[in-house]
Structure 1
């Protein structure tokens, strides 16, 4: 069984244009002690094999290619890839995402040196990249900060909703022994469920730098090149509700306040914040604009 300090798990299916970028993202890392596992989940084999062979001389035997005859789903594919190699750390590198060249170096340094035993994972800020597919090329439309408002990774905030994408999260492989692997019965939100179970027991260090790129194709809602969070929006809503209900029922069955209470209270606060946020935005604009500020003061004095 092949091994590396970091197991980089990439699931793919008939998306070779994006898979090429993912491969280059890993090969371009300044940190070199990794093993990349590409799980072709029921997709066409020839193109994936040709792509891996093209980079074979750069991989230096640090790649494992797994072909599933039929698709077994994202989380099952992740689990299969993780179990196929040995490593100290694990990170899920989706085939459409990418890294800054220093991502692995910076995150591994943190995990290797942290004196706090409760910290078993590390997350970086992400950049959201809006792009489109044009034939065999990817066109970048614009970029924006994704989660740079985070000051830390708290269980309470995670309960409201996922605050980071898998591409930005590296963690100790040993946690699987305690919390289990990714839930294979979840077609979406398997990462959020895993993050919740992770944070029930452990903490996550935050590097406040955008070292991971979270790519979205807003104009592709169906087909192989769509994002699950966009193309599968209704499915996300369905399983979001299902997960929250499931966790709350566990609390009720055990007559306790636990994760079920947290995820549902967190959702309530998220909905309230969504309603308040436009008002906050307008108020901030007024504060920054001298003319609007004077007008607001005039009306307040005249009341």
Structure 2
């Protein structure tokens, strides 16, 4: 049987293991009597070998080769498509297959839920009789788009990276086996004992992150983990740009530059990256291809997921070998555990446990390899049958049984930074989202929460007299990703902000709570940074504020003042450099940061302060902040995480004076109440406003007087010119001009 193979969609550059995968695909098809020809320019550099012409170069058929009887679209080594243009070549082939009545099969398709061209995928999937998805996450997306398709399943393309089974060695006369032409005598054994043992090979297969964390943050974590592995194994480090693009190569170089000076490191180019990966003893990776290469080499794989898609794709590869949930989110390495360890402590423990469990892990991989090969063989049998026009068979079950042989610390590092399969009975954070007549803002706010790196939360949506159908429609497409972490409270009549907050707080039993009015944009790391601050054993704050920017949605009807100035009674003092605390003095001076920004605090404070005052309306949040600061302290985090080079600018004395002033103010309010400071603040604001108005009036009067003076000056100049024209000298000048005829 003769078929045409169309690679794609692919990204820029050459990927690690790509050549091995394509050649393995040809071998698997040839074993099943299928003559495959690669068509398209993408295939030429992959299959080209020194001194030989790639098959089907330029898309022309070899002499005497009949026309293709079926089409195979393979996404080996390719990225998940992000726009319709990347799928246009495949859609053209699908249209050709439909017009000519030839079978079409898709294999190795990755679908990222966050960057999915849905319409193009909806048109592509029904055209194929059998569709092999790269991982379980891609399979879930495909089933959502085409629920009636009978041929959707996870393919086994990563098994192509496995080395071919070695041929059986001929038995010797004594019943043992030996290699052809190899003789082992006493001298050989002595030489083997004298030869130095090569140090373990550590490969870091990395790609430049595209998620919520900046590349330099991931680079520091990877360098720390590599240093920990080198310290415990004495190995050498080879850095591989798994993605193959220039940005990935630069990122690998950045990681290499952060390693200690005594660490031997090599930057592998595209031509040697494949060989380095399949001979590794340890593989630290941030991409699914690095994980697949490491497992094929029976190496200990330490996968770090910078974003949700990398976590899902690497978990899919590990799950096929029985290593379920082995990926550590980058978020877990930044603020892991219950006591907010630092990154160094986390990577040191992970490296220590990985070394201790290395033998068990390698044994588990050896035991799982036959099942992986058998499952891959079933997949290629089904693919060959579909190319011949046979209907797809039922999807097989998982190949390897789950094995708990990884480092135990991985479970702790993952606990609150991956979406749970079922909502916890008592989450760490309850988010009370007060909603009323703004479905667009509600959807955006929920999307912000779903993008959070910290996932141990419960969302309580309080529908404060809005349209229940609008709330349900906004949440419906997000129900699957919310994974049961949402509770909706509908109220027919508006309750007000304070009452809505109190109802929402009673609907959860978490340790920490935060109010959300869908008016601000929450960065992906906001909850993670806030929770880590309150869990730091060296921090005594009971609340923390993280400033955010406002969400701009068409139709909100909210406009800033035209002149950009706030009202006199809401003047906010300029932000002090290095400010780490929100003080009672700040709030009395008009600082509304805790009201307008996410304010995460311990639920237990309500046992001391009581609920939000439902008689105050929109001022209830501000009044609760005043009561909070009278008794407890509130930390203030910068809007963006500080960089590695950020440091204080010598303002410790200023911060100390502010702390002393606020301490005495809180002591006074504890004894006498906050009424007098509030009255004085209001009186001072009114006096300041009156003073500003008087100064403005004086300035306007001065400008008027200046205009009068300028007008008088111009009049005096005109009079002086007139007098000069009527003098004696002027008479003779006029006479002289008349004599000259002018």
TM-score bracket for the superposition, by shorter chain length: 0.5 to 0.7
Aligned to 1:24: 447
Tell me how far 1:175 sits from its aligned partner.
Answer: 0.4
Aligned to 1:76: 499
Residue of 577, 581, 585 corresponding to 1:156: 585
The question of whether the paired residues in 2 share the 8 Å contact of 1:30 and 1:102 is answered with: yes
Residue of 194, 197, 200 corresponding to 2:624: 194
Aligned to 1:258: 673
Taking a change above 3 Å as real, the CA distance of residues 45 and 29 of structure 1, as seen in their structure-2 partners, is same
Unaligned 5+ segments in structure 1 are 212-250, 279-303
The question of whether the paired residues in 2 share the 8 Å contact of 1:93 and 1:166 is answered with: no
Aligned to 1:173: 603
Aligned to 2:549: 127
Structure with the larger RCO, 1 or 2 (CA within 8 Å, 6+ apart): 1
Aligned to 2:468: 45
> Secondary structure, in 3 states, of the residue corresponding to 1:11?
strand
Taking a change above 3 Å as real, the CA distance of residues 273 and 107 of structure 1, as seen in their structure-2 partners, is farther
In 1, Cα distance between the equivalents of 2:525 and 2:688?
A: 35
In 1, Cα distance between the equivalents of 2:455 and 2:627?
A: 30
Taking a change above 3 Å as real, the CA distance of residues 134 and 192 of structure 1, as seen in their structure-2 partners, is closer
The question of whether the paired residues in 2 share the 8 Å contact of 1:92 and 1:167 is answered with: no
Larger radius of gyration: 2
Taking a change above 3 Å as real, the CA distance of residues 187 and 107 of structure 1, as seen in their structure-2 partners, is same
> Secondary structure, in 3 states, of the residue corresponding to 1:7?
strand
TM-score (norm. length: structure 1): 0.67
> Secondary structure, in 3 states, of the residue corresponding to 1:126?
coil
Taking a change above 3 Å as real, the CA distance of residues 36 and 167 of structure 1, as seen in their structure-2 partners, is farther
In 1, Cα distance between the equivalents of 2:691 and 2:636?
A: 27
Pairwise mapping of residues 1-303 of structure 1 onto structure 2 (< 5 A)?
3-117=426-540, 119-128=541-550, 131=552, 133-134=554-555, 149-150=575-576, 151=579, 152-164=581-593, 165-210=595-640, 257-271=672-686
Tell me how far 1:14 sits from its aligned partner.
Answer: 1.8
The question of whether the paired residues in 2 share the 8 Å contact of 1:73 and 1:187 is answered with: yes
In 2, Cα distance between the equivalents of 1:125 and 1:273?
A: 27
The question of whether the paired residues in 1 share the 8 Å contact of 2:544 and 2:635 is answered with: yes
The question of whether the paired residues in 2 share the 8 Å contact of 1:125 and 1:207 is answered with: yes
Tell me how far 1:115 sits from its aligned partner.
Answer: 2.6
> Secondary structure, in 3 states, of the residue corresponding to 2:548?
strand
The question of whether the paired residues in 2 share the 8 Å contact of 1:120 and 1:203 is answered with: yes
The question of whether the paired residues in 2 share the 8 Å contact of 1:73 and 1:184 is answered with: yes
Tell me how far 1:30 sits from its aligned partner.
Answer: 0.9
The question of whether the paired residues in 1 share the 8 Å contact of 2:464 and 2:500 is answered with: yes
Taking a change above 3 Å as real, the CA distance of residues 148 and 31 of structure 1, as seen in their structure-2 partners, is farther
In 2, Cα distance between the equivalents of 1:156 and 1:110?
A: 22
The CA deviation string for residues 45-93 of structure 1, in whole angstroms up to 9 with x for no partner, is: 1121121121001101110011012211111011101101111111101
Tell me how far 1:132 sits from its aligned partner.
Answer: 5.3
Aligned to 2:698: none
The question of whether the paired residues in 2 share the 8 Å contact of 1:123 and 1:207 is answered with: yes
The question of whether the paired residues in 1 share the 8 Å contact of 2:434 and 2:463 is answered with: yes
The CA deviation string for residues 120-179 of structure 1, in whole angstroms up to 9 with x for no partner, is: 0001233345x45259xx99xxxx9x9871533111221233431353211001101100
The CA deviation string for residues 194-228 of structure 1, in whole angstroms up to 9 with x for no partner, is: 001111110001112258xxxxxxxxxxxxxxxxx
The question of whether the paired residues in 2 share the 8 Å contact of 1:125 and 1:168 is answered with: yes
In 2, Cα distance between the equivalents of 1:171 and 1:204?
A: 8
> Secondary structure, in 3 states, of the residue corresponding to 1:125?
coil
Q: What's the Cα RMSD here?
A: 3.2
In 1, Cα distance between the equivalents of 2:459 and 2:598?
A: 16
Taking a change above 3 Å as real, the CA distance of residues 68 and 265 of structure 1, as seen in their structure-2 partners, is same
Taking a change above 3 Å as real, the CA distance of residues 276 and 115 of structure 1, as seen in their structure-2 partners, is farther
Greater strand content: 1
> Secondary structure, in 3 states, of the residue corresponding to 2:638?
strand
Aligned residue pair count: 231
> Secondary structure, in 3 states, of the residue corresponding to 2:637?
strand
In 2, Cα distance between the equivalents of 1:148 and 1:207?
A: 16
In 1, Cα distance between the equivalents of 2:493 and 2:591?
A: 29
